[in-house]
């Protein structure tokens, strides 16, 4: 995902139609022209079918950001699509620099990789992978499916993986085989990619997770 437009939203826009949105082609350009310190409240709006257009809105006012999240975005979709009815593909809301809500994401939860339990109390899939966030930065993401399988993963012997094009070096996987709890779809992906570059050398099925085996890990 890469941002197409960086949009500055002056305070008060929710109550005043004469205040305009100010569109920029890059984040530095926007920050030079506006207030570089005021970027705590943001909304990502991806739309245009398959998130063809990604727009990052920066709000001076948190109340405006919430209004935009609730209903203000609908008008923007109408404007951007040349007055045809349309819908968002994905949205994310940040207030005070914290992500507080998302819409339209499925298995990807790119902001919370530490929570091991789903809201239902079930064990969460361990699978983590790299994803590009709404700023174009690479972040670790984690699956949000329920873990149903226990597997043993043997990492490839690569010590450090460096991705020059993305300007990141990330921590290597443990050198020794380890057990993980993952969902069926991540297992399929792992099986297909095992042995290829950047993937574990081997993924072995150890069995299905049952309610009792889940509770063994209740203290994790």
Residues that bind Zn ion (CB under 5 A): 125, 127, 143, 145, 183, 186
**Closest CB to Zn ion among residues 47, 145:** 145
Pairing of strands 5-9, 22-24: antiparallel
Q: How far is the CB of 185 from Zn ion (least distance, A)?
A: 6
**Shortest separation between residue 173's beta carbon and Zn ion, angstroms:** 16
Longest dimension (CA), the chain: 63
Give yes or no for a contact between 58 and 30, defined as CB atoms under 8 angstroms apart: yes
- Give the bridge partners for 168, in sequence order: 163
Question: Which residues fall within 8 angstroms of residue 205, CB to CB, at 6 or more apart?
Answer: 149, 150, 151, 187
Quote the tokens at residue 194: 């095992």
Minimum CB separation from Zn ion for residue 174, in Å? Answer: 19
Alpha-carbon dihedral of residues 155, 146, 184, 144, nearest 10 degrees? -70
Q: How far is CA 162 from the centre of its chain?
A: 21
Distances from the Cα of 201 to the Cα of 23, 69, 75, 197, angstroms: 46, 43, 49, 9
Least CB distance from residue 118 to Zn ion, whole Å?
11
Q: Which residues pair with 24 in a beta bridge?
A: 6
- Structural element, H or E, at residue 151: strand 149-154
Q: Which is nearer to Zn ion, 80 or 116 (CB)?
A: 116
How far apart CA 155 and CA 202 sit, in angstroms, is: 7
CB of residue 126 to Zn ion, shortest distance in Å: 8
Cβ 183 to Zn ion shortest distance, Å: 3
Distance of CA 189 to the CA centre of its chain: 19
């Amino acid at each position: 995902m890469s941002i197409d437009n960086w949009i500055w939203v002056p305070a008060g826009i929710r109550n005043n139609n004469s205040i305009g949105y100010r569109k920029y082609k890059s984040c530095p350009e926007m920050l030079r022209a506006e207030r570089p310190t005021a970027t705590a409240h943001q909304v990502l709006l991806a739309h245009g079918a398959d998130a063809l257009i990604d727009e990052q809105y920066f709000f001076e006012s948190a109340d405006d950001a919430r209004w935009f999240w609730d209903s203000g975005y609908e008008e923007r979709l109408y404007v951007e699509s040349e007055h045809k009815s349309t819908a968002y593909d994905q949205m994310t809301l940040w207030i005070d620099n914290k992500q507080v809500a998302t819409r339209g994401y499925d298995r990807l939860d790119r902001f919370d990789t530490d929570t091991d339990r789903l809201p239902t109390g079930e064990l969460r899939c361990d699978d983590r992978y790299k994803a590009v966030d709404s700023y174009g930065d690479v972040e670790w993401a984690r699956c949000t499916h329920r873990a149903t399988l226990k597997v043993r993963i043997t990492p490839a012997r690569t010590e450090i993986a460096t991705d020059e094009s993305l300007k990141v070096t990330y921590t290597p996987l443990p050198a020794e085989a380890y057990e993980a709890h993952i969902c069926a779809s991540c297992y399929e992906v792992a099986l297909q990619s095992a042995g290829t570059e950047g993937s574990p050398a081997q993924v072995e099925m150890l069995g299905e997770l049952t309610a009792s085996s889940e509770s063994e890990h209740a203290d994790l």
